[in-house]
Amino acid sequence: MADKTKPQPKSNAPMLIIGLVLIVGAVAGWYLLTKPKAPTAANNSNTAAANSNAANPKTATIPANAPPGANPPNQAGSPNALVTVEEFADFQCGSCASVHPVMNEIKAYYGSKIRFVFRNFPLPMHDKAYDAAVAAEAAGNQGKFWDMQNLLFSNQKAWASSPTYKTMFKEYAQKIGLDVTKWENDMIATMTKSRVDADIERGKGVNINATPTLYINGVPFQFAEMQAAPLKAAIDAELKKVGEGAAPNPAANSAPANANAAK
Amino acid sequence: MTPETEIADERSAAPSRKWPVAAAVIALIGLGDSIYLTAHHYTAEPVPCSLIEGCESVLTSAYAEFAGLPLALYGAIAYFAAFSLAVLAAFGDTRMWRLFAVLAFLMAAFSGYLIYVQGALIGAFCQFCLLSALTSFTLFVIALASRPWR
């Protein structure tokens, strides 16, 4: 074409601008995708300090007069352990699913040294979370709460976006060997729902506004820290504190803290 | 019917340069927002599911993806297309401006649907998504104001 040999600066200008924006946009996107993640306090081994620094003003210590929640709660470890780790979670919450393996590790690692309590706190914005909580409680009636809890969290993406999620819950019930008829009856039983409701009441009583929320002997533990290492450090510290008995010596306390940091 | 007269005709037919230029600037804002949201979709560190701040609820919801890709990526493509058409229109191409108007209408309509999803289906709003809705509505208003059907 003859036109091609004749440069037309005016018609090139828009293409230059568009090309420039395309390149800048691609570079910006690439940069955002690959930039190193901001260092979090979680990498810091000094959990206690990080915890108090980052203390969420909205999440306070569990008051003694808080509603008790479902009784008995869904608990693992020893009911008589001196340290209670209490998690409020929502089965439809992605962050709850992401910390779920950490919680399993904690349960397995400490065994009967701690009491691990799981509280249902389905958030109102999650349309299937309440049903999922009831499904887990109904499994709990047959002693398989934790099996159902595991399946619900590990398959969260599948059922959370599926209109047939109840069928999927039923498949999970079969998978973990429940008496499915009893489980289905329990799903609609007031008794089962009242356990979920009791947990929600407790959550509201302690002003939970996000999930997962974790307490170690009633003291909130920050979400940003919910990885195995910082969580173990905090639980170890609490075990040590309760193990030392009723007469903690402030002077003695600072020395082991240093020794701990040096390990 | 030489190219020169055609270009001249289109110039005179082009309503005004200010509308396409304004649209290009707004589209750039929308593009930046969409790129940010797309990158966020892939790199987001988990944060708690909060009753108060809705952004994560929206961005991690089942509605945040279509055909395996984040909606924000489609948004980025749409804003880039809108920007390109606006730039071409700013340089006098009226047909591109009409295409822009059609695209702006579709984007505004889809943004309206996404606001419905956030309000009625997720129950939470994400400020970056609302910014995108605002920019697409603005693009549509600019398209209307320029009266592209003239």
Instruction: Please write the tens of the pLDDT for every residue from B63-88.
Output: 777 777 888 899 999 999 999 999 99
SS3 (DSSP) at B123: coil
Nearest to A160 among B28, B62, B80 (CB): B62
> If interface means Cβ-Cβ distance under 8 Å, which residues of chain B face chain A?
3, 28, 31-32, 35-36, 38-40, 42-43, 45-52, 54, 56-57, 60, 62, 76, 80, 83-84, 87-88, 90-91, 93, 121-124
CA angle A71, A76, A82 (to 5 degrees): 85
The Cα A226–Cα A241 span in angstroms is: 20
Task: Give B43's pLDDT tier (boundaries 50, 70, 90).
Answer: confident
Q: Of B126, B104, B102, B105, whose CA–CA distance to B114 is shortest?
A: B126
DSSP A113: G
In angstroms, the CA A184 to CA A181 distance is: 5
The structure tokens listed for B87 are: 């730039």
- Taking CA–CA distances from B72, the nearest residue in chain A reads A29
| pLDDT value at A176 more than 80 | yes
Q: Summarize pLDDT for B50-65 with one digit per residue, the tens.
A: 776 667 767 767 677 7
Taking an 8 Å cut-off on Cβ atoms, the answer to whether B52 and A14 are in contact is no
Contacts of A211 in chain B (CB under 8 A): 48-49
DSSP class of B122: I
Smallest CA–CA distance, residue A167 to chain B, in Å, is 18
Give the pair of three-digit tokens for residue A29: 């996107």
C-alpha dist (Å) from residue A91 to A97, A136, B24, B124: 7, 9, 43, 18
C-alpha B12/C-alpha B147 separation (Å) is 14
Strand-pairing partners, residue A219, are A216
Tens digit of each residue's pLDDT (9 = 90 or more) over B109-142 = 999 998 888 877 777 788 888 899 999 999 999 9
d(CA B54, CA B46): 13
Count CA atoms closer than 13 A to A45's CA, side-chain side: 7
Is A222 within 8 Å of chain B by CB? no
Q: Amino acid identity, residue A93?
A: C
Which of A29, A37, A211 is the closest to B48 by Cβ? Answer: A211
Query: What is the band of A44 on the pLDDT scale with cuts at 50, 70, 90?
Result: very low
Q: Are A261 and A236 in contact (CB under 8 A)?
A: no
Cβ contacts of B54 on chain A, cutoff 8 Å: 125
DSSP codes of every residue in A203-235: HHHTT--EESEEEETTEEE-GGG-SHHHHHHHH
Do A210 and B52 make contact, defined as CB atoms within 8 angstroms? yes
Question: What's the rounded Cα separation, in Å, for the pair A36 and B61?
Answer: 25
> Which residues make beta-bridge pairs with A117?
A75, A86
